Amino acid sequence: MKRRDLRINTFMMLFLTQFHDEAELENQYELFCEQIENLEESDNAYIHDRVFDIISKLDVIDKEISEKTVDWEISRMAKVDLTILRLAYYEIKFDDDVPENVAINEAVEIAKIYGGDNSPSFVNGVLAKLVK
């Protein structure tokens, strides 16, 4: 699976976690993976590790996002935008294999596909503040 496809599947699963209790997440993950055609074990492991590592760091990630979005409470953000920001922040701060500019560009591209009309500029603006 290409890196972008891995990122999009990670985004999708991370988005779904907002609608389920923590106790259900492993089961929801398995159901999610059943929908992905020809999912290789290495890709499965990558997505799983990434999603659950992000979840384990949500307090830190959300605190940083909240500090950069003074006029926006996390609870009032569009869930798609918040999920994109969480994934991108994780890649910027915790994944040495992803350069900052790539993480930001990919986040904006995901926002263009899955977000609202203002999502790409919102995501880009917040992430620009996070990397300063």
pLDDT in tens, 66-93: 999 988 889 999 999 999 999 999 999 9
Q: Which tokens hold the place of 102?
A: 């790539």
Distance between CA atoms of residues 75 and 41, nearest Å: 35
Decide which of 22 and 40 is more confident: 40
In this prediction, residue 115 carries a pLDDT of: 98
Q: Which amino acid is at 121?
A: S
Domain limits for position 11: 3-131
CATH number of the structural domain spanning residue 19: 1.10.940.10
Instruction: State the pLDDT confidence band at 22, using cuts at 50, 70 and 90.
Output: confident
In this prediction, residue 132 carries a pLDDT of: 84
| Averaged pLDDT for residues 23-38 | 92
- What SS3 class is residue 104? helix
Average model confidence (pLDDT) for the chain?
A: 95
Distance between CA atoms of residues 81 and 119, nearest Å: 6
Over the stretch 94-127, which tens digit does the pLDDT of each residue have?
Answer: 999 999 999 999 999 999 999 999 999 999 999 9
Distance between CA atoms of residues 130 and 125, nearest Å: 9
Question: Could you give the number of structural domains in the chain?
Answer: 1
- Torsion of the alpha carbons at 123, 125, 126 and 131, rounded to the nearest 10: 120
DSSP state of 115: S
